């Protein structure tokens, strides 16, 4: 039995749709890296609208480094960004390190550390920021649905604190 021309066309069309649809084919590792870089660059340039374009319109949770910084609405995230941006004159992120990702059918998690250099009043300070992010796969690309960050310490691990004093 020969397959019909219509059936072959339908299968070919389905294959093309699958490869073209990010919800089915899924973003590549490079897509995720590009989106993270875009997020960091927009943030360091104080671009509220640009950062918010990467944030989901649906469900949202952003937790800053202070206990009071818990945002579940876009307006709260915008306020958090505006307050952050008042802390420096200019800033830049280095290359993310300790990058760990996991992908499911509809979400991608990305955990990473990244050096952050901020400049204010002629001074400069570099610190490491640890991000835990969750990205939702959408037709518009990856959208941030959850983010938490902190500034990790050095010498303050449980092992360090429990070590005998010398």
Kindly report, residue by residue over 102-140, the tens digit of the pLDDT. Answer: 999 999 999 999 999 999 999 999 999 999 999 999 999
Per-residue pLDDT reduced to its tens digit, 78-98:
999 999 999 999 999 999 999
Name the pLDDT band for 165 (thresholds 50, 70, 90): confident
In angstroms, the CA 76 to CA 78 distance is: 5
CB atoms within 10 A of CB 77: 22
Mean pLDDT score, 29-44: 93
Domain extent at residue 92: 27-162
> How far, rounded to the nearest angstrom, does the alpha carbon of residue 77 sit from its chain's CA centroid?
14
Q: What is the pTM of this model?
A: 0.79
pLDDT value of residue 19: 38
Q: Is residue 80 part of a domain?
A: yes
Bridge partner list, 120: 123
- 9: in domain: no
- Asked if the structure places residue 115 within a domain, the reply is yes
Q: Is residue 21 part of a domain?
A: no
CATH code (residue 75): 3.10.450.50
Query: What per-residue confidence (pLDDT) applies to 157?
Result: 85
pLDDT computed for residue 8 by the predictor: 37
Question: 65 to each of 68, 69, 71, 76, 132, how far by Cα in Å?
Answer: 9, 7, 12, 15, 12
Instruction: Please state the domain count of the chain.
Output: 1
Neighbours of 148 (CB within 10 A): 17
Does the pLDDT at position 144 exceed 90? yes
Max avg pLDDT among 8-12, 70-74, 160-164? 70-74
In whole angstroms, what is the distance from residue 139 CA to residue 160 CA? 46
Does 12 fall in a domain? no
């Amino acid at each position: 039995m020969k397959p019909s021309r219509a059936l072959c066309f339908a299968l070919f069309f389905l294959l093309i749709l699958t490869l073209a649809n990010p919800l089915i084919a899924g973003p590549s590792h490079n897509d995720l890296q590009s989106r993270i870089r875009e997020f960091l660059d927009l943030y360091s340039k104080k671009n509220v609208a640009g950062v918010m374009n990467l944030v989901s319109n649906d469900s949202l949770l952003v937790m800053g480094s202070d206990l009071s910084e818990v945002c579940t609405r876009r307006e709260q995230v915008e306020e958090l960004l505006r307050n952050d941006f008042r802390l420096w004159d200019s800033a830049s992120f280095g290359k993310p390190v300790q990058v760990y990702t996991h992908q499911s059918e509809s979400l991608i998690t990305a955990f990473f550390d990244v050096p952050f250099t901020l400049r204010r009043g002629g001074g400069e300070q570099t610190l490491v920021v640890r991000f835990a992010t969750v990205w939702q796969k959408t037709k518009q690309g990856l959208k941030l649905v959850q983010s938490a960050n902190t500034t990790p310490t050095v010498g303050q691990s449980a092992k360090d604190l429990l070590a005998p004093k010398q």
